[in-house]
Structure 1
């Protein structure tokens, strides 16, 4: 019997994905928390206009670096939330390696932290994976 990867395994893969990023990005990610949850909350889904909780695999919560100021203080650190069950479902449905899938989601969410466009995030992912 094979068990689905637990939250700790997904967090390990997420941290590996961050460690594989170019140094310029990694140095700005030290304060970002990674949290693994089974699904997004109903409030989060409603805020994003998503009806099906299986449709959301990750979420960045925080202000983009482009919107931060040295005068900011007392705010919560940025968080990347990964939603375990939707990620595992996508993994099974697509056949994509779980580490590659997690890396893809992490790159996308980190892109929000940096204020990048989808094209920028695709280029970063391509540099990381070579494809």
Structure 2
């Protein structure tokens, strides 16, 4: 298990977001990226969670909606990694996976693409 400080984890997440293609980042509409230690239910296998309405499901979406949220679970991500490079890779994979849900891509399709 690799452990880093909360600040270093936030910097790692920011770096991985910055590394994503501009075309993806520019379309992250009304979305917040949050970091929590563990999920509310305490599950150890959940690395990230998308909570919101996918872009493909939005109708008259526009003003005053609560932002969608992607939550990364720091302790769970650290627990499956032995090195900082592995952690960086898992954060990247988890971000891409959850962002895909924001764009309306379901788990079955992500599995076909190798992201689930």
Same fold? TM cut 0.5: yes
Aligned partners of 1:11 and 1:35 also within 8 Å: no
Report what 1:80 is aligned to: 70
Structure 1 segments unaligned to the other structure (5+ residues):
43-51, 126-131
Q: Which runs of 4+ in 1 moved over 6 A?
A: none
The structural deviation recorded for 1:7 is: 2.6
The structural deviation recorded for 1:16 is: 1.9
Report what 1:129 is aligned to: none
Aligned residues: 111
Which is richer in helix?
1
Report what 1:113 is aligned to: 102
The structural deviation recorded for 1:84 is: 1.1
CA distance in 2, matches of 1:120, 1:70: 31
- Structure 1 95/5 Cα, relative in aligned 2: closer, same or farther at 3 Å? closer
